[in-house]
Amino acid sequence: MSRAKSLKFRPYARLLTMLGDQLIKNERVALVELIKNAYDADASWVKVSFDGFDSKFHANAKSRIIIEDDGIGMTSEIIENHWASPATPVKLQDKRAARRATKKGRVIQGEKGIGRFALLKLGRAITLTTRPKRSTSEYVLVMDVSAFDPDFIDDNEQALFLDDLRLSLREVEPAQMIAPQRIEIGVRTAQRARHGTRIEISHLTSTWSAKKVEEVYLDLMRLQSLFSLGEYDDPQSDPFEIFIYRNGSYEPFADARREELAGLLSTRAVFHIVGRFDPQVESFKFTIDDVPQRIALNDPQFTGMRIFRDTFGAALERKTQCGPFEFEFYVFDFGADASAKYRLDSSDKELLRQHRIYLYRDGIRVYPYGDPDDDWLLIDVRRGTVKASEFLSNDQVVGHVHITQVGNPHLRDKTSREGLVDTGEPTDDFRALLQVFLAWVRKDPYAKYKIKSQRSDDVAVFKQNAVQNSLEAAAEASKQAGASPQVRELLDSATRQYKQERRYLVHRAETTEHLAGVGLSVESATHDLTLAMRTAMSVNDALLAQARRGGEIVAEALERELMAIRGSLTFIADQLKDMQLLFKSTKQRRKDIVVAELVKKVERLFRTMLDKAGIQVTIDPVGPPVVAKTTDAVLLQVLLNLFDNAIYWLKSSEAPRKVEILLDGDRGLMVFADNGPGIRPDDAPYIFDAFFSGKGEEGRGLGLYIARQLLERHSYTIELADKSERLLHGANFIVSFVQEDA
């Protein structure tokens, strides 16, 4: 039997190219990695110098990039045992041992130990000079691979191994490069600290331009938060500044529109939302324009949304796996019809499109989240493939999300530094929770804002018949002013045509609303019909199967099965007979209807659903019968919608579940009440508006709107009950059958 041979990994030198040039996406990511190292080293400033570059930042063969900081520096031991050892676990070990913070209190960003290979994305020759604190010496490390081709194959076509490459390390005593001296830092001068690191990169591998440098600068400026959330946003408490130099001169790249962005955030945002998700109680606590709110994750406002069901099921069937996070969002109206207060011009919109929702961990940005072409929350994807109105567009929301390594240890950066590692439920839940909240913002506060902004003028113009009045006033004024007969005839003709068009459009709107109401009502009432049909078909299929097998059929059994089918068909016929009343509205004349009779009819339609949900219905007549002069179709649609809404909201409520219907003949009204969660005060002004719904994607926002429209045509009303009229603590509606013009 042969003995097993012991082998060791011996990577080829081209691994450097893979880890550096290929793994690191671009120069921006490379510089960010190096600057994160300076941040971890407690530096207060970083200078990035482009030496040997022309005025357009074009390089030549002798150009070099120098990155210098005033961090704590490195000892020779750290260089030899950690810096020169790829994938060193020292930072990871510090984190696991709870040594997460630096002496300045910064949370350590790096942990994988391969960020140094970002250097090879920039150039092939590296000279690193570093001086640790309390040392009179500095250490110079040289890594020069410029003599090799990118795949490290020598002149004899032999591939080099990683351990064939050599680094040189020497000590300089006393320190020459990092020594006390007056240095320029931006627009000020300061005494150079006796510690820090300087990295000189030559034999550059990337092409540069003024535009690229400016883009890199803007990216570096966004390394820390642009906003004002959390403990990491006070630059005075822990300064960390980044400066760009060219040929020894400070290049004052400025985020020229940063102040402009701040102005838009403070003056043009429709909403400013600041909040936190707490996984312990699984709820969002937040403010909208400083008004406090709190919504539990299992609230029907969330559970009714498709995005919630796609991730968590019909209800919150498991505990979420991500940790706490904070957020700050600014929501804008990009519509051309936005009010003057929130209106944005093309320049404003273009600026906002340069910023999306950023992600910061312990105050430092996770790239590339927040870039204008990044869709890390998959909002554009869902708008394009599921439903465009489910979310506000990415352009409309600017803000950031803040996490910590302690609170979310499973939300880790990819090795490529391009986003988060997909760790399963922690990452999926984190993304889904943000999607759910942003979808709620679209369907609730933003929908209310749009309704409110569009409601007032349109309704006033229609109800006051403003256009016709204006035309008639213009015609009268033309007569008094002695206008020509042709002008007067044109105005009279315009008035006649407008009246004709108005009659046509009103009739068309009423017909459309009726048909929409019929559709919603039928959808609500067909649950039992579908169940009865399935039962009849199941019995019928069983009889067919038995007949095909042959043999004797027992007469009593056959009669029993046929009676079951007949029972189902009789039930269907009775239900359809009641529902046919919905389709006769155009032929029906108004008549006196005893409301209690239709209430009992609709209760029968919903009986199976009511029993399944454990809902007790009480009908309480007071005084003489309530009589409405209307049509069966109108009253049926109103009652079907009230029952359907009550069942939806009561299903998620605790027992006992109740519906109480008061029929007050003395006052000619009906109070329809349930003991569900009720109407939120913020929703109350909008529940009768078209397309506003508290049910998420399960609701179309038409039921109560159509109910009110139908009743108003008969001079009746439906309103929310005030406190004195409420029967139960949930939703309470009052339908008055006293005609307003009586």
> How many other CB atoms sit within 10 Å of the CB of residue 691?
15
* Helix (H) and strand (E) counts in the chain: 21, 24
Q: Which residues, other chains included, contact 663 with Cβ-Cβ below 8 Å and sequence gap of 6+? A: 595, 596, 599, 619, 620, 621, 622, 625, 626, 670
Are residues 58 and 187 in contact, defined by beta-carbon separation less than 8 angstroms? no
Extract long-range pairs of 418-426: CB within 8 Å, 24+ residues apart: 418/25, 418/29, 418/367, 418/368, 419/366, 419/367, 419/368, 419/369, 419/376, 420/359, 420/366, 424/321, 425/321, 425/322, 426/321, 426/322, 426/323
Q: What is the spatial distance between Cα 268 and Cα 266, in angstroms, rounded to a whole number?
A: 6
**How big is the chain by its Cα radius of gyration, in Å?**
36
Q: Could you please state the CATH topology (level 3) that the domain comprising 15-250 is classified under.
A: Heat Shock Protein 90 (3.30.565)
DSSP 108: P
Query: What token pair was written down for 43?
Result: 């530096």
The domain ranges of the chain are: 15-250, 258-451, 531-581, 588-742
Query: What token pair was written down for 289?
Result: 């324009």
pLDDT for residue 160: 82
Q: How many CA atoms lie within 13 A of 669 on its CB side?
A: 15
Query: What token pair was written down for 240?
Result: 């960390």
pLDDT for residue 54: 94
Amino acid occupying residue 584:
K
DSSP 625: P
> How many other CB atoms sit within 10 Å of the CB of residue 242?
22
Q: How many CA atoms lie within 13 A of 618 on its CB side?
A: 14
Are residues 67 and 46 in contact, defined by beta-carbon separation less than 8 angstroms? yes
Query: What token pair was written down for 384?
Result: 């394009």
Q: What is the spatial distance between Cα 342 and Cα 349, in angstroms, rounded to a whole number?
A: 12
Cis ω for the linkage preceding 656 (within 30 of 0) = yes
Tens-place pLDDT, residues 337-386: 888 889 898 899 999 998 999 999 888 888 889 888 889 999 988 888 87
DSSP string of 177-210?
Answer: SS-S-EEEETTEEEEPPS-EEEEEEEEE-S---H
From 3.30.365.10, 3.40.395.10, 3.30.300.30, 3.30.565.10, which CATH number describes the 588-742 domain? 3.30.565.10
pLDDT for residue 349: 92
pLDDT for residue 402: 94
Are residues 694 and 301 in contact, defined by beta-carbon separation less than 8 angstroms? yes
Query: What token pair was written down for 504?
Result: 């046509």
Q: What is the spatial distance between Cα 364 and Cα 25, in angstroms, rounded to a whole number?
A: 19
Give helix 555-579 / helix 527-549 axis angle, nearest 10°.
160
Beta strand pairing status for 615-622 and 657-664? parallel
List phi, psi (to 5°) of 30.
-60, -50
Are residues 73 and 47 in contact, defined by beta-carbon separation less than 8 angstroms? no
DSSP 682: T
Containing H/E element for 580? none
Q: What is the spatial distance between Cα 570 and Cα 568, in angstroms, rounded to a whole number?
A: 5
Secondary structure (3-state) at 29: helix
Q: How many degrees, rounded to 5, is the angle at CA 560 between CA 558 and CA 562?
A: 70
DSSP 277: E
Do 588-742 and 15-250 fall under one CATH topology?
yes
Q: Which residues, other chains included, contact 643 with Cβ-Cβ below 8 Å and sequence gap of 6+? A: 524, 602, 603, 605, 606, 659
pLDDT for residue 665: 92
Q: What is the spatial distance between Cα 122 and Cα 129, in angstroms, rounded to a whole number?
A: 17
Extract long-range pairs of 373-380: CB within 8 Å, 24+ residues apart: 376/419, 376/431, 377/431, 377/434, 377/435, 377/438, 378/431, 378/435, 379/435, 379/438
- CA dihedral (118, 122, 127, 130) in degrees, to 10, reads -50
Are residues 714 and 698 in contact, defined by beta-carbon separation less than 8 angstroms? no
Q: Which residues, other chains included, contact 50 with Cβ-Cβ below 8 Å and sequence gap of 6+? A: 57, 59, 63, 65, 208, 213, 244, 245, 246, 247
Give helix 445-463 / helix 466-480 axis angle, nearest 10°.
40
Q: What is the spatial distance between Cα 69 and Cα 48, in angstroms, rounded to a whole number?
A: 9
Q: Which among 623, 694, 710, 715 is positioned nearest to 665, based on CA atoms?
A: 623
Task: Write down the residue that tokens 């097993």 correspond to.
Answer: 4
Task: Write down the residue that tokens 């005494």 correspond to.
Answer: 191
Q: Which among 469, 90, 146, 445 is positioned nearest to 270, based on CA atoms?
A: 445
pLDDT for residue 459: 52
Q: What is the spatial distance between Cα 588 and Cα 605, in angstroms, rounded to a whole number?
A: 22
Q: What is the spatial distance between Cα 618 and Cα 18, in angstroms, rounded to a whole number?
A: 74
Q: What is the spatial distance between Cα 662 and Cα 55, in angstroms, rounded to a whole number?
A: 83
SS3 readout for 452-518: HHHHHHHHHHHHCCHHHHHHHHHHHHHHHCCCCHHHHHHHHHHHHHHHHHHHHHHHHHHHHHHHHHH
Q: What is the spatial distance between Cα 647 and Cα 609, in angstroms, rounded to a whole number?
A: 8
Are residues 351 and 293 in contact, defined by beta-carbon separation less than 8 angstroms? no
Are residues 69 and 49 in contact, defined by beta-carbon separation less than 8 angstroms? no
Q: How many residues does the chain have?
A: 742
Mean pLDDT by groups of 10 residues along the chain of 742 residues: 78 72 73 86 93 94 95 92 72 55 79 67 92 94 87 79 85 92 86 94 90 86 72 61 91 75 90 95 94 90 84 78 94 87 90 92 87 89 81 91 90 75 88 93 88 60 62 70 73 72 62 55 57 68 75 74 70 62 57 90 82 91 92 81 87 88 93 91 82 64 79 87 89 88 51
Q: What is the spatial distance between Cα 583 and Cα 649, in angstroms, rounded to a whole number?
A: 28
Tens-place pLDDT, residues 680-737: 888 888 888 877 776 655 556 677 887 888 788 788 999 999 888 899 999 999 999 9
Task: Write down the residue that tokens 């500095």 correspond to.
Answer: 138
